[in-house]
Structure 1
């Protein structure tokens, strides 16, 4: 049986990304994403989860300069659970999302105005006007085995 560890989150950046370099000089950025849970059955708002996001290398550098607290973003990645010993020697477990792709919705949204009703093209009144004519001279459709998919 195959395994799959993939997650897609849409939320708001709740902390500015913090860029650091590892001992080997590899850039790493960490930030938190606030993601709403679904609305409750009684209609009240769901809770908010604050999910730690980690990105690496060039993506970390881009995230640290383009993402700001309050931006809406889509993060696609994988869930990672790790442990480490804190300063007092106590074992600490951490769950985070390692980002493969980050899309800053604030920078990537394009506004396309809808035409007003009076500016829109009139709809066809007669459906027959929109259907192309087929004559006896038209090419026949290819046989099913000739279709490339």
Structure 2
């Protein structure tokens, strides 16, 4: 079976990190992902808010380098969870469990613009933030 999802969007909030009873970090955040089409009624693009969960080292990475408003690419799998709310009602929620999280978009001049503080990034991460050059030619 195949369960693979790749999404790109902006973080809707700073990642929230919690720890399991065993001490494993778990980061949760939402990505605002615009749809590819505009609504006929108002001519605007609808936005889907997709919940993302990252575990262990990925959770710490997200906590350290990502902030609200930053553009990110998440690769992972879709997970559906059934749970019971405080009133005893049965609930169901969907979330993406992140296997990989990547920086997207251009570098920011200041951290206040929503991107990670470049001075604190490791060199390999810093290099990955370079903008791609587009020569306008199709790759095929």
Q: Same fold (TM over 0.5)?
A: yes
Residue 110 (structure 1) aligned with residue 130 (structure 2): yes
**Pairs within 5 Å for 1:44-63:** 44-63=43-62
Counterpart for residue 25 of structure 1: 23
* 2:38 alignment partner, one of 37, 40, 60: 40
Contact 1:11 1:33 in 2 (8 A): yes
Q: TM-score, normalised by structure 2?
A: 0.73
1:26 to 1:13, Cα distance in 2 relative to 1, 3 A: same
The runs of at least 4 consecutive aligned structure 1 residues that moved more than 6 Å come to none
1:90 to 1:57, Cα distance in 2 relative to 1, 3 A: same
Measured in 2, the distance between the counterparts of 1:113 and 1:50 equals: 30
When Rg is computed on C-alpha atoms for both structures, the one with the higher figure is 1
Which consecutive unaligned segments of at least 5 residues does structure 2 have? 108-127, 135-140
Aligned-residue Cα RMSD (Å) equals: 2.1
Q: TM-score, normalised by structure 1?
A: 0.68
Q: Deviations over 1:33-83 (max 9, x none)?
A: 000111238593321000000000010011011110010000000000011
